[in-house]
Every structure is written in structure tokens, then in C-alpha cells.
């Protein structure tokens, strides 16, 4: 492949390095190998952590203006190489090229945002109740261990890396083994931008468990940041407890999408398609459960079915592709099992419902889904719309909140009072009101309940990488 960012080596302490063994990365659209990367182990990870710790001593002392300028250069270089990045992303994740380009823009918006926001990491001078003088400053947390998933191979890294760098932290990253090439491309760009050696390392490995444990327990690491499943989040949190590391977790969701009788139904259908089919439904904020008020149920279901059956399912490089493959055969099996379970419990299949060739799954609409269907309680992570019916606003809120998760929730209504009421009552960290797309670098992204801890993006996203220190000046 002619792509200057396609690198089949890991990146440690400013060098692209090989390993004793390698593993293949598979294109989910064709199931053929794209290339190989080193299969590194815990010892390599330990070395990278030591280098990151040593680099931190220097990096945290650089003036904010210098760190900010380097992060800004990373933004500019990423913009300049967006087509190469998008090509790599589509190859290894399968998402349509247009979505990959969108992800480069989206992920890079965090880099731009934090290059600027770093300059505003203000402390305070606090009025004292005695003769002491109280001043606060913000300082880098330290070495950060990061673990990221395959569904957003770039953006899930950018929104951790940019605030960490500008804050003065250093980072050792373990990207998902399905999508390491995007992470390595970002490492190349960071290198070109002038990020000093040791400040950012990328460890490619098949040993998620071993590396996860190392990152979560190594005493030189002060913070662990993770995006992925709630199950793995719980393990990492337990492991991080041994050294009381700071944690930021963005975990699983079970997003409800409520359509009230006073909604603009056509807008709701557009929002539903946008919020459901991005990345073939493989996002943590993807709509999992549609709750539709009984009086508009038939109309919404018919319009949604029509829109969904018109979606173009194709290889991500094909012109006009809207829905690409799922990440692998296991994901296809899980989605198929969810559909079969729902149908067996009484759901009606309106469109789709079956595997197409390879890892492609037909965009699906199921109506009359029973409350005890697996889809009600488990994250689907696939192109399935499951429609439930409700009668009253109270019932919709109760059902929407009936989950241990609380990442995103969406609803459509044109009544301002209802919008305020429901927006406040839904138990989720992010609420889309008359929109199916909520992600934005300027907004705080994150969950409540078992969907996570901490926020990414916005000014709060910078605080995750900084400690507040209080300086008490005696004044006698």
C-alpha cells in the first residue's frame, strides 16, 4: 500500500520497533490480512513505562505555550494527512470511507480544542478566613496508561492523548489489536509534530489481559484511562485500586431513543438512522432501545422501516457505502442471536434480520419487541432497531432508566416543557434532545451508573489529566 503512515512496527521511546513475534491485522470487509504488527509483551510495556516516567520529568517542565504549540502542530499534520489516516481506518475497521474521514475531523477537533484549552488551565487565589494566603495551581497527573477500542480507532485515542499531552502528562497506549495501524499512524504524526521521545508510546500486543494488568498496577503509572466494555472496566478498576490510580472510564451503554406523540416524526426518523447506523451500530452511544408512544408507533415504524431498507450496505471503499461490515464473525453471531431471541419472544421482523456475505449484516427493524428480550438489557453493537411501545411519559422514563447503564439517551418532542422535564429525568451522562448525534469536542462526553467515570472533551476533559495543588502561604 502506498501510504506513508502505514507502519508495521510498534512505537516505543521515540523509535519504531519490531518484536520477536507478530500478529496479523484483518480487514473485516474481506477477511484478508492487511499486514502485521509486533506482538509485544509485558516486559516491553514495563520498559515503555520507565521511559515515559523519565520523559515526564522533562515534559511537565516545558512551558504550557510550548506543549500547546506541539499539540497544535499535531492537529495541523493530522488535517494534512486526513486521507491517509482515513484509508488506514477503513481498511482495519471496515467503516465507510466517508465515516473514517468524519472520524479524522471529529478526533482531530479534540486535538485542536485541547491545544487551546491547555492555555486556560487556571489556578485560583482564594480569599482566606485567616492571615494565610490560599493559591491553587494545576499540575500534570503523571504517566498515563491508556487502553482503547477498535470502533473509533483514532478519536478514542485523540481525546485522551491531546489533553494528557497539553497537561504535561506522558502516555503509554495499548490500542485494540484489531486496529493498531491507525494508532501507529497517529504516533508517526506525533513524532513529526515534535512530541519528544518517551512522551507517547504505542505498544501493540495480543495480550490485552497481561498489558492491561501491567498498565493498571505499575506504580510508575498515576492514571489509567480506558474506553471499552463495562466488564473490562471493572477488572481495570479493581487492579488500579492496588496503587490508588486515578481512573477515567468510558464504558458500555444501552441508549434509549424515545419518540413522543408531539415529535416531528420525520426528524425523529432521520435522527434514528443517524444515531443507529453510524459505524454499523458499533458505537457506545448507539441507540439500543426505541420507545415509541402508542399513538405514533405505526407511523414511526413504517417510516423508519422504509429509511432502513434503503441504506446501502457495502465495502467501506465503495462509493455511497452507508453501512460497512461488523468487526468480525463473533460480532455477527451475537447480533444474529439477539435478533433470533427477540423474534422467538414475539417481535415482528419488518426488514433485514439476516447475515449477508462475510461480516456484513442487513440493517434490521424489529417491532413489538418484548420487554424481556435480550436487546432490552444488553448492548447490541450492530445495525438492529428494536421498537418497544409505551403509553405515558412516566412509563417511557421508567423504562428508559431501567438499566444499570447511563451513557447516552435521546428523545424527540416539540414541547419545551416536556423537553426540560424528560431531559432532567433521564439517567444518562448525555442527552440528545431532537438529535441523534451528540458528540462534540467542546462538550463533556461520559457516562453515569455503570457506563463510566470522568469526562472527555470540554474543559472537564483537561481536568482529568491535572491535579489541583493548594499552596498555603504563611503571612505572619
For ligand ADP, the closer of residues 170 and 230 by Cβ is 230
Judge contact between 72 and 115, C-beta under 8 A.
yes
Judge contact between 100 and 90, C-beta under 8 A.
yes
Count CB-CB contacts under 10 A for residue 448: 14
For ligand ADP, the closer of residues 10 and 301 by Cβ is 10
Q: Measured from the CB of residue 154, what is the shortest distance to ligand ADP in angstroms?
A: 14
| Cross-strand bridge partners of residue 287 | 255
b/e 196-216 (16+ beta carbons within 10 angstroms → b): bbbbbbbbbbebeeebbbbbb
Give contact residues for ligand ADP (rule: CB under 6 A): 147-149, 176-177, 208-209, 212, 228-229, 232, 235-236
For ligand ADP, the closer of residues 185 and 258 by Cβ is 185
Q: Measured from the CB of residue 149, what is the shortest distance to ligand ADP in angstroms?
A: 4
What are the C-alpha distances in Å from 319 to residues 96, 273, 322?
A: 9, 19, 9
For ligand ADP, the closer of residues 147 and 409 by Cβ is 147
Q: What is the dihedral of CA 6, 148, 179, 95, to 10 degrees?
A: -110
For ligand ADP, the closer of residues 180 and 363 by Cβ is 180
The pair phi, psi for residue 393, each rounded to 5°, is -60, -40
286: its cell numbers: 448507539
SS (H, E, C) 384-451: EEEEEEECCHHHHHHHHHCCCEECEEEEECCCHHHHHHHHHHCCCCEEEECCCCCCCCCCCECCEECC
Catalytic residue of the set 87, 250, 393, 427: 250
Q: Measured from the CB of residue 327, what is the shortest distance to ligand ADP in angstroms?
A: 8
Judge contact between 165 and 116, C-beta under 8 A.
no
Judge contact between 440 and 419, C-beta under 8 A.
no
Q: Measured from the CB of residue 23, what is the shortest distance to ligand ADP in angstroms?
A: 12
Q: Measured from the CB of residue 22, what is the shortest distance to ligand ADP in angstroms?
A: 17
For ligand ADP, the closer of residues 121 and 285 by Cβ is 285
Residues with Cβ within 8 Å of residue 131, at least 6 apart in sequence: 474, 475, 476
Q: Is 318 a catalytic residue?
A: no
Q: Measured from the CB of residue 174, what is the shortest distance to ligand ADP in angstroms?
A: 6
Per DSSP, the three-state class of 35 is strand
Instruction: Please tell me the distance from the alpha carbon of residue 227 to that of residue 475, in angstroms, as a whole number.
Output: 46
- What does DSSP assign to residue 323? B
Instruction: Please tell me the distance from the alpha carbon of residue 176 to that of residue 410, in angstroms, as a whole number.
Output: 28
The pair phi, psi for residue 112, each rounded to 5°, is -65, -45
For ligand ADP, the closer of residues 147 and 453 by Cβ is 147
Q: Measured from the CB of residue 232, what is the shortest distance to ligand ADP in angstroms?
A: 4
Residue nearest to ligand ADP (CB): 212
User: Catalytic residues, which ones?
Assistant: 250
Amino acid at each position: 500500500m502506498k501510504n506513508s503512515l502505514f507502519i508495521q512496527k510498534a512505537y516505543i521511546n521515540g523509535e519504531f520497533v519490531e518484536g520477536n513475534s507478530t500478529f496479523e491485522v484483518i480487514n473485516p470487509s474481506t477477511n484478508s490480512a492487511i499486514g502485521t504488527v509486533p506482538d509485544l509483551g509485558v516486559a516491553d510495556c514495563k520498559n515503555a513505562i520507565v521511559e515515559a516516567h523519565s520523559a515526564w520529568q522533562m515534559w511537565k517542565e516545558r512551558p504550557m505555550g510550548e506543549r500547546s504549540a506541539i499539540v497544535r502542530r499535531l492537529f495541523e499534520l493530522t488535517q494534512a494527512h486526513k486521507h491517509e489516516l482515513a484509508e488506514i481506518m477503513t481498511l482495519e475497521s471496515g467503516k465507510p470511507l466517508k465515516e473514517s474521514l468524519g472520524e479524522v475531523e471529529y478526533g482531530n477537533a479534540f486535538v485542536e480544542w485541547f491545544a487551546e484549552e491547555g492555555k486556560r488551565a487556571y489556578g485560583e487565589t482564594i480569599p482566606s478566613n485567616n492571615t494565610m494566603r490560599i493559591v491553587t495551581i494545576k499540575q500534570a497527573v503523571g504517566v498515563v496508561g491508556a487502553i482503547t477500542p477498535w470502533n473509533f480507532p483514532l478519536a478514542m485515542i485523540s481525546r485522551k492523548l491531546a489533553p494528557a499531552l497539553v497537561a504535561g502528562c506522558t502516555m503509554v497506549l495499548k490500542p485494540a489489536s484489531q486496529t493498531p495501524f491507525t494508532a501507529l499512524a497517529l504516533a508517526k504524526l506525533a513524532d513529526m509534530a515534535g512530541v519528544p521521545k518517551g512522551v507517547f508510546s504505542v505498544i501493540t500486543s495480543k495480550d490485552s489481559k497481561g498489558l492491561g494488568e501491567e498498565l493498571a498496577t505499575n506504580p510508575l503509572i498515576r492514571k489509567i484511562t480506558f474506553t471499552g466494555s463495562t466488564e473490562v472496566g471493572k477488572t481495570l478498576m479493581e487492579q488500579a485500586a492496588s496503587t490508588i490510580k486515578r481512573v477515567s472510564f468510558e464504558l458500555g451503554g444501552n441508549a434509549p431513543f424515545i419518540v413522543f406523540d408531539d415529535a416531528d416524526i420525520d426528524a425523529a426518523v432521520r435522527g434514528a438512522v443517524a444515531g443507529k447506523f453510524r459505524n454499523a451500530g458499533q458505537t457506545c452511544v448507539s441507540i439500543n432501545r426505541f420507545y415509541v408512544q402508542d399513538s405514533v408507533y405505526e407511523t414511526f415504524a413504517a417510516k423508519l422501516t422504509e429509511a432502513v431498507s434503503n441504506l446501502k450496505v457495502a465495502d467501506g471503499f465503495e462509493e455511497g457505502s452507508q453501512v460497512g461490515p461488523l468487526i468480525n464473525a463473533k460480532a455477527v453471531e451475537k447480533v444474529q442471536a439477539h435478533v433470533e431471541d427477540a423474534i422467538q419472544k414475539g417481535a415482528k421482523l419488518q426488514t433485514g434480520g439476516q447475515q449477508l456475505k462475510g461480516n456484513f449484516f442487513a440493517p434490521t427493524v424489529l417491532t413489538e419487541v418484548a420487554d424481556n428480550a435480550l436487546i432490552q438489557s444488553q448492548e447490541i453493537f450492530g445495525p438492529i432497531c428494536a421498537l418497544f411501545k409505551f403509553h405515558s411519559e412516566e412509563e417511557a422514563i421508567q423504562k428508559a432508566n431501567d438499566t444499570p447503564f447511563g451513557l447516552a439517551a435521546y428523545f424527540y418532542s416539540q414541547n419545551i416543557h416536556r423537553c426540560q422535564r424528560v431531559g432532567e429525568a433521564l439517567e444518562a451522562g448525555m442527552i440528545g434532545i431532537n438529535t441523534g448525534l451528540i458528540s462534540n469536542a467542546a462538550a463533556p462526553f461520559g457516562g453515569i451508573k455503570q457506563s463510566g467515570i470522568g469526562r472527555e472533551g470540554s474543559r472537564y476533559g483537561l481536568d482529568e489529566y491535572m491535579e489541583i495543588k493548594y499552596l498555603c502561604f504563611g503571612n505572619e
